[in-house]
Amino acid sequence: MIIEPRVRGFICTTAHPVGCARNVREQIAYVLRQGSIPECPKRVAVLGCSTGYGLASRIVATFAGGADTIGVSLEREPSASRTGSAGWYNNRAFEIEAQKIGRSPLTLEGDAFSNDLKKSFIDRVREKFGQLDMLVYSMAAPVRTDPDTGKTYRSAIKPLGNPVEIKTLNTETGEVFETTIAPASEDEATATVAVMGGDDWKRWIDQLGDAGVLAPGFRTLNYTYIGSELTWPIYWQGTLGRAKVDLDRKAEAIRGRLGQDAARVVALKAVVTQASSAIPVVPLYGTVLFKVMKQLGLHEGCIEQIDRLFRTRLGPGVEVDEAQRIRLDDRELSPGVQAEVLRRWPLLSTETLGELADLPEYRSQFLRLFGFGIDGVDYSQDVDPRVVT
């Protein structure tokens, strides 16, 4: 079949197997050019391994660090007439390339929130690794079912307290407009914490610890985003911010059990992901931020950011902020970058977007998540959606 992108809002319902595989190989090539990381943990788990920062973590650990990895993600399998999810293709492309260098990765696809998958995961870790040296938690899901109560929670990305009027962007039409977002109810805020806070992360670590599969010196990382004052009204000062505070509390609880350096929340820069595309103001902020950071020579995508994390921020004595987080958003939040973004912000309109921001780059990065717009791929070619090469 000929596979084309089908985009509805912030969702692309198709993915290209050849494009996804090539995108994975390009990230691997970048990491290989940077050289090895001898001190990298050698038995690494990545939850949310198939796209974005999770996929980048698995690539860096494997191809720079020489690690064997076990990944977990929830994917859609392809059929003869329908494409799989981008993550399904990414997982298989990663496995093919890892096996070429003598690694033997293992991927479990299913609901990482469930106790059944956690149990299966523990069994496979015992069988394949014995113990784990590191676990990276990089999951972003809008819905979570508590495995103990059976209650399903749905996140709501809203402000707290009062309505917020904010400038945003329709990424399909290029229209910049003002919108008012109603505040969350207390039930919505609680549900958002249940989905996006640290409860599931801590459950994973507690169950792995109780099962005896955490090696001495084990470390765990959880990726987050804090952002700038432009995104705070809907992000840090809203339901998401409350969830992030819970994440910090859970990190402290894990450190209380495993040691002071055992658990860190890592604040990363803004990048294009399917999850971030759904957050009001974030796409508009991203189009401006990317243009400014590129002009200043500071822009990083997922693979560049995670490569820098593993090379420079995981050794002993790493500097952390007042909440004990590792900060990799330093370039985004540097005074020069933020001053220029803030200067442009009030000038943004539908008419000035092309001059002040980079919507084509944002759209390009979004489509690349699904294997489209990748150089060297013939998208007019008939391909089998069930095959990754």
pLDDT tens by residue, 303-315: 999 999 999 999 8
Residues of the chain with pLDDT under 70: none
Phi, psi of 15 (to 5 degrees): -145, 150
Please, are residues 101 and 66 in contact by the beta-carbon 8 Å criterion?
Answer: no
262 found inside a domain: yes
Instruction: Decide the pairing of beta strands 214-224 and 263-267.
Output: parallel
Q: How many domains does the chain have?
A: 1
CA torsion through residues 297, 345, 272, 333, sign: positive
**53, 223, 235, 362: which one is catalytic?**
235
pLDDT of residue 273: 83
In this structure, what CATH number is given to the domain that contains residue 194? 3.40.50.720
Residue-range definition of the domain harbouring residue 44 = 7-368
Instruction: State the pLDDT at residue 297.
Output: 96
Max Cα–Cα distance, the chain, nearest Å: 59
The beta-strand segments (E) located in 204-304 are 214-224, 263-267
Q: Is 362 a catalytic residue?
A: no
Q: Quote the pLDDT of residue 235.
A: 82
How many C-beta atoms lie closer than 10 Å to residue 237's C-beta?
Answer: 16
Q: Are strands 43-47 and 106-109 parallel, antiparallel or unpaired?
A: unpaired
Residue 298 resides in a domain: yes
Within a domain: 321: yes
Torsion over CA of 115, 202, 224 and 252, rounded to 10 degrees? 180
Residue 208 lies in a domain: yes
DSSP 90-101: HHHHHHHHHHHT
Q: What is the C-alpha to C-alpha distance for residues 366 and 131, in angstroms, rounded to an integer? A: 36
- Amino acid 39: pLDDT: 94
| Lookup: tokens for 383 | 């391909």
Q: How much is the mean pLDDT over the chain?
A: 95
**What pLDDT does residue 172 have?**
87
Global pTM? 0.96
Q: Output the six-digit token pair for 378.
A: 């013939």
**What Å distances lie between residue 90 and 95, 308, 368, CA to CA?**
9, 22, 12
Asked whether residue 178 is domain-assigned, the answer is yes
Taking the C-alpha atoms of residue 59 and residue 41, their distance in angstroms, rounded to an integer, is 13
Give φ, ψ of 361 to 5 degrees: -65, -40
pLDDT at 10: 75
Which residues, including other chains, have CB under 8 Å from residue 344's CB and lie 6 or more apart?
Answer: 288, 292, 356, 357
**How far apart are the C-alpha atoms of 225 and 33, rounded to whole Å?**
27
**Would 87 be classed as within a structural domain?**
yes
Say if residues 9 and 17 touch (Cβ distance below 8 Å).
no
First to last CA, the chain: 15
The runs of H, that is alpha helices, within 66-151 are 86-100, 115-128
Phi and psi at residue 322, to the nearest 5°: -65, -20
The answer as to whether 380 is a domain residue is no
| 378 within a domain of the structure (yes/no) | no
What local confidence, expressed as pLDDT, does residue 319 receive? Answer: 93
